[in-house]
Structure 1
Amino acid sequence: MTAPDLHLMGDLRMGDRLLCPGLDLHCAAGAWTVLLGPSGVGKSSLARLVASLPCPAYLTGGITADDGASLAGRVTLMAQTDQLLPWADALENVTLGARLRGARPDRGRALDLLRRVGLDGHANRRPATLSGGQRQRLALARTLMEDRPVVVLDEPFSALDAATRATMQDLAAEVLTGCTVILITHDPLEAARMATRAWLLDPAGAAPLDLPVTPAPRRLSDPATLAAQASLYRRLMAADDAA
């Protein structure tokens, strides 16, 4: 399946409450679009809407792909909670999607992804025996296993230490090459490193954010990355104060 451009348009509402007005977000095919903003502005709601999952919020203008086709079956979402099946082992969790579709899981690929997220030798362990960071990496492996053209990542690296976070960012960028990715994060450095384009969402709407011209993922030590981090942090703090 070819990755499409996405267009998110309209007011984001939850009942009578306006969360974020006047959205006009273009998510380029094969690129990483990053959404930042204060809690409660509707970022996770947008994630669920893109994934066509039940959500109390709605977008008045809708979400469309440039090829005119439905997004159903073309999106995978990694939510903030790991949503692992507690009675299934790590390998069974990674291959859940294929098994739900009645397909034969690619066991070799699943084991390789477990290795690459640092869970080699953990295939038979259940989620309750894993740390929070290990569980999040297991959820990441399951997301990467899905091989969908549109991928929504909602705080996918939040439970990881700084070094592991950077390694998992690099892995995700590699595996998701060519995918249309929407990354939701509260981390300005993560946005500065991973985004092709970034938006700040707040109760007044969405504003584009300045990023380095170098391709992502950018080096953590690059002065342009660090300068962008500082700029994004200032914008995020101002949005928090205004929320």
Structure 2
Amino acid sequence: MTKIRVENVSKVFGKKVAQAQDLVKQGKSKSEILKMTGATVGVYDASFEVEEGEIFVIMGLSGSGKSTLVRLLNRLIEPTAGQIYINGDDVSKMNKQQLREVRRTSVNMVFQNFGLFPHQTILKNTEYGLKVRGVPKEERKIKAEKALENAGLLDFKDQYPKQLSGGMQQRVGLARALANDSEIVLMDEAFSALDPLIRKEMQDELIELQQNMKKTIIFITHDLNEALRIGDRIAIMKDGKIIQIGTGEDILTHPADDYVRSFIEDIDRSKVLTAENIMVRPVTVNPEHDGPKVALQRMKEEQVSLVLAMSKTRELLGYITADDALRCAKEGQQKLLPCVQKEMNTVPHDLLLEEVLPIISDSPTPVAVMKDGKLAGVLIRGIVIEALAKETSEVASNE
């Protein structure tokens, strides 16, 4: 289900708006338009959709328009042109009362400073948004305690912010934001003021809390590593325009232009690419149906020394080497099932390449890649090494 739909949204600050928009169409830069018209292009012709339960990251350098764009979504900034839909309702056409209701019930915004009230307990801080919305006392207590439990902070509910570490205070702020029952959470550089260790912990907290609470989150950042770590999809902005939208893997493997390419050149792809990105089609036999001669013939055709044993429902049963197949043939076996070796390393399809490396380096056989309990592909040591070598050569060629 689409929670947010943005269609051709623009925001120009200042006068001569129409002239500024025409200059954008002509390919003039943001600074050129400012000199020629005195107007600043905040966002130009942005279009995208965000699905329910998705973490959608908008990233770019300072001045790219990312913070302006997120404020357009709930009309903290009024759009110059375009439509914004939340749950199918056109936010850009709402009156003040309708907009206030959307902000109160559907959309919650989180800024860099979570701003806990020092004179209130952790529980009262977490309840605050629910209290403003008029949620009954007992109900908001239950919801706040649940949010604190999800964040691992329930035992601290009666303490005050000054009694908690900085990182724990940030977790309280995050729990409060996610406890507010808003379907959509807008987070503008929420972790950028934190030191690196706490920042990573907060990213982990957000991912874990999201698994439990399934919010729809728009997350603004200037840090590509952060975007790749938490984002289901990423939109990269430059001078008010969206340059590319895609998954982390999409952006790393198929950058849209030189600007995006410059963003990703220093990224360690082993921390982003998954087993699914580098797996190859497995050579398989069905040992419940095929005999040893079929296995040997398949090995000969594919020029491999083993095949994977797979049921007709794509369940992995093990593997069979050429020696196994020859032994089966000499024993007069009509089916391969008695000769299947079942001990084989497997990895989930979304396991990061950096986590795959130690597994495949110690594995005597290729590693099977599994998705939803079914065989999806196979990892071969040489191909994994080739993928890393390719990255190294790309980095060297860019230096």
TM-score after normalising by structure 1: 0.74
Q: Which amino acid aligns with 1:35?
A: I
| Counterparts in 2 of 1:19 and 1:226: CA distance versus 1, 3 Å | farther
Aligned residues of 2:43 and 2:69 also touching (Cα < 8 A): no
Write the deviation string for residues 60-118 of structure 1: whole angstroms up to 9, x where unpaired. Answer: 22422362365613111111221323332211111112211222243233223223324
> How far apart are the structure 2 equivalents of 1:168 and 1:8?
32
Aligned residues of 1:5 and 1:28 also touching (Cα < 8 A): yes
> How far apart are the structure 2 equivalents of 1:30 and 1:132?
28
Of residues 98, 109, 112, the one that matches 2:130 is 98
* 3-state SS of paired residue (1:6): strand
Aligned to 1:173: 210
**Shift of the alpha carbon at 1:142?**
0.6
Aligned to 2:374: none
Aligned residues of 2:2 and 2:51 also touching (Cα < 8 A): no
Aligned to 1:223: 273
Question: Are 2:88 and 1:67 equivalent residues in the alignment?
Answer: yes
| Counterparts in 2 of 1:127 and 1:43: CA distance versus 1, 3 Å | farther
Of residues 210, 213, 219, the one that matches 1:183 is 219
Tell which structure's C-alpha radius of gyration is larger. Answer: 2
> How far apart are the structure 1 equivalents of 2:232 and 2:118?
36
Count of aligned residue pairs for this structure pair = 218
| Counterparts in 2 of 1:184 and 1:79: CA distance versus 1, 3 Å | same
> How far apart are the structure 2 equivalents of 1:48 and 1:204?
13
> How far apart are the structure 1 equivalents of 2:199 and 2:129?
29
> How far apart are the structure 1 equivalents of 2:44 and 2:353?
30
Q: Which runs of 5+ in 1 are unaligned?
A: 214-219, 232-243
> How far apart are the structure 1 equivalents of 2:12 and 2:200?
37
Aligned to 2:165: 131
**Shift of the alpha carbon at 1:166?**
4.4
More helix, by proportion: 2
Aligned to 1:4: 3
**Shift of the alpha carbon at 1:25?**
2.4
Aligned residues of 1:157 and 1:165 also touching (Cα < 8 A): yes
Aligned residues of 1:41 and 1:201 also touching (Cα < 8 A): yes
Residues 22-41 of structure 1 aligned to structure 2 (within 5 Å): 22-41=45-64
| RMSD of Structure 2 on Structure 1 (CA) | 3.0
Aligned residues of 2:57 and 2:233 also touching (Cα < 8 A): yes
Of residues 249, 252, 259, the one that matches 1:212 is 249
Question: Are 2:176 and 1:142 equivalent residues in the alignment?
Answer: yes
Q: Which amino acid aligns with 1:223?
A: L
Q: Which amino acid aligns with 1:33?
A: F
> How far apart are the structure 2 equivalents of 1:107 and 1:6?
33
| Counterparts in 2 of 1:130 and 1:44: CA distance versus 1, 3 Å | farther
Aligned residues of 2:6 and 2:85 also touching (Cα < 8 A): yes
> How far apart are the structure 1 equivalents of 2:6 and 2:185?
14
Identify the structure with bigger relative contact order (alpha carbons < 8 Å, sequence gap 6+): 1
